[in-house]
Structure 1
Amino acid sequence: MNDALGTENEAEVLFERRGHLGVITLNRPKAVNALTAGMAVAMLQQLTEWAEDDAVATVLVHGAGERGLCAGGDIVAIYRDMLAGGTETAKFWQTEYPLNALIARYPKPYVAFMDGLVLGGGVGISAHGSIRVITERTRVGMPETTIGFVPDVGGTLLLSRSPGKSGTHAALTGAHLNGADALFLALADHYVPSERLPDLAVALESEDAEAAVVRFSEKAPRSNLEEQRNWIDACYLGDDADEILDRLRATGGAAALAAQTIEAKSPTAVKVALESLRRVKGLTIEEALAQEYRVGLRFLSGPDFLEGIRAQVVDKDRNPQWNPPTLHEVQAADVERYFAPLGDQELNLQSKEPNNV
């Protein structure tokens, strides 16, 4: 795939045809291919065109460089937009979320090489695809609660479909998970060693996508999350975050460590993320994205999202001052407000059935 890789002076996302394969290369390697508004616009346009192009049988998305497919959205740009009281983040989501929905409904095989880091928005442009490939280098996560936000890009829907309560654990802790865990969470389908990805990409130019990926796939290592499922399913029952933390602490061991991790996150984000996961069950991808957009706009006007990015990415003091500072102080009415209708600001995506995912 090296001939598709560019430099930072080139376009942020590259498109090319190879045989019957349409190739998308996220091309910001120094930023681990973090997704910008311009990239989302370009991808939405190109994928829409390829969906109608009989010469394109399969689409492949991968990232330039060695560090990962995509580290998520450009949160520094979001921080600057919030500081300025701007509307650019909302406009970005108005393109990014339809892109996620298109990928979930894509009429042709959509192959994602989830190699290296795949975080946040990177999950949105990969895990909704029909053929999702992880490697020994994969690190997947929806780490939004760490920055005072909640999983979006359809991530709440994806994690709600993970076995048992494993998706709730992943969402509230914001953990970076390996490829085997991504397979267990149903965020991916196949394990292929990273050194074989270039040969697989060549095969996709002329072969049936599913058959080619199966031919290159190997048995994945066992998932640590799967081995911990007993306590995860027992502790994350119910809709009350305070009770979940009580059960985690009482269980001890890895569960108690998970409680400590969650306690460091934004209390508001933890409670809203939990409620989002519970409300999203049974929704279509379009309805899930509309709910996430509703919630996201409320976080843009609240204190914790700005503070979380400041602490983790801007000042990097890793000492966010959450408001309110404890789970107990986040009331049910506070959470409910995040889901209130937006009126004429609603994100209206035409809902279809069934989902690809």
Structure 2
Amino acid sequence: MSDVLFRTGGRAAHIVLNRPRALNSLTRGMVLAIEEALTEWESDPAVEVVVLTGAGERGLCAGGDIRAIHEDARDGDGSATAAFWRDEYRLNARIARYPKPYVAVMDGIVMGGGVGVSAHGGVRIVTERSRVAMPETGIGFVPDVGGTHLLALAPGELGTHLALTGAAVGAADALLCGLADHHVPSASLTSFVEDLDRLPVREALGRHVQDPPPGGLAARRDWIDACFAADTVEEIVHRLRAHGGTAAEETAAILLTKSPTALKVTLAALRRARRLGPLERVLEQEYRVSLACLRGPDLIEGIRAQVIDKDRTPHWSPATLEEVTDADVERFFAPADGPGPVPNPSGALEEIAW
């Protein structure tokens, strides 16, 4: 059975991520197959809409296959992961610019790379079961797949909050943050997807869209915006602790469990993403940052602690925020001919052909 299934029916073409035991995590083969299908359907007049769903009951997609990334970073030269990211980011940009309606059904768990293949689409559906997150700082990584672009556009500092903490949000909060467009109850998904085979997207939406259950972020906007507007992670933690509320104090504690390096690089990436403009420019930045993460210690250690050994006790290096210098952070963004360990991505990026 293929890891990704394709079919057409009526006016719709369907992509089904089909690795339910791995929560539909993405491989390079899946990415390339989706890219090929989108290219074919773009010129097919019978295809008027593309619909993305995930097999199984747990979610659309939990992200990339991080076990494979761990093995490549630990035992290989990183080239397989670099190739995967190059093709994945190309696909993210392709989805964002796709000329036909691209309907992503973001039911259940949607994290990391799952956000990349869904939240750049033109019509993004969440349900009461949706849990949308970019949890990368917890494994010593930085939000990618255009995640820093999406989160930089969220109202106030909600995107900064989600990027640094890795918190998962439900339907209402995903809508508030601009990660989704419509809420459809999970019980209606089968009928909704069937309707897309025969009805225009707007009419299908009109039959099934409902108000989502209440979220939690709107009530926390005041302290989230005030605390996460700080220029440094240290100051964010200080403001959270000084706020005095239980939720803010718990958020500070959560931040201190994440990779200090990943936190600082993520904050810098978000702030820069706001100035970069188009998604493609942000993806170029993310590609450089991702390759730098691949050569650092925290990504290997984070995946080991959270996924491989599951001891949940990563040993970050450096271990504290104070030990991560501005120069350390800058190396993740250094140009190819600049200082630091960032490998030259120019050849691969030329193939992306933004």
Q: Which bracket does the TM-score occupy, shorter chain normalised?
A: over 0.9
2:247 to 254, 267, 274: 254
Q: Which runs of 5+ in 1 are unaligned?
A: 1-9, 352-357
Q: Equivalent residue for 2:270?
A: 277
Match of 2:66 among 70, 75, 92: 75
**What per-residue deviation string (whole Å, max 9, x for no partner) do you get for residues 172-229 of structure 1?**
0001211111111110010101110110111101211133123210011222011110
Q: Secondary structure at the match of 1:224?
A: coil
2:197 and 2:36 map into 1 onto residues whose CA distance is 21
Q: 1:38: which partner in 2?
A: 29
**Runs ≥4 residues deviating over 3 A:** 348-351
Question: Counterpart of 1:297 in structure 2: which amino acid?
Answer: L
| Aligned residue type for 1:317 | D
Shift of 1:34: 0.5
Measured in 1, the distance between the counterparts of 2:231 and 2:43 equals: 43
1:122-271 equivalent positions in 2, closer than 5 A: 122-252=114-244, 253-271=246-264
Could you tell me whether the CA contact under 8 Å between 1:286 and 1:350 is conserved in 2? no
| Correspondence 1:91 to 2:89 | no
Which residue of 304, 307, 313 corresponds with 2:307? 313
> Is 1:28 aligned with 2:28?
no
Q: Is the 8 A contact 1:294 1:338 kept in 2?
A: yes
Return the match for 1:295 from 280, 289, 292.
Answer: 289
Q: CA RMSD in A?
A: 1.0
Residue of structure 2 equivalent to 1:345: 345
| 1:64 equivalenced with 2:55 (yes/no) | yes
CA-CA distance at 1:48 after TM superposition: 1.4
| In structure 1, distance between residues paired with 2:158 and 2:142 | 16
Q: Please give the per-residue CA displacement for 1:272-329, whole angstroms capped at 9, x wherever unaligned.
A: 0000000011421111111000000000000000000000000111000000000111
Match of 2:341 in 1: none
Partner letter of residue 345 of structure 2?
A: Q
> Residues 95 and 25 from structure 1, CA distance in 2 versus in 1: closer, same or farther, beyond 3 angstroms?
same
In structure 2, what is the Cα distance between the partners aligned to 1:183 and 1:56? 28
For 1:75 and 1:313, the matched residues in 2 are separated by 8
**Structure 1 range deviating more: 109-118 or 222-231:** 222-231
Write the letter of the residue equivalent to 1:233: D
Q: TM-score, normalised by structure 2?
A: 0.95
Question: Which secondary structure does the structure 2 equivalent of 1:338 belong to?
Answer: helix
> Identity percentage over the alignment?
55
Aligned: 1:16 with 2:12? no
Task: Report how many aligned residue pairs link the two structures.
Answer: 342
- TM-score, normalised on structure 1? 0.94
2:332 and 2:12 map into 1 onto residues whose CA distance is: 42
Matched position secondary structure for 1:78: helix
Partner Cα distance (1:53, 1:213) in 2: 23
- SS of residue matched to 2:333: coil
1:190–1:214 contact (8 Å) kept in structure 2: no
What CA distance in whole angstroms lies between the structure 1 residues aligned with 2:45 and 2:248? 51
Q: Which residue of 1 aligns with 2:97?
A: 105
Structure 2 letter corresponding to 1:102: R
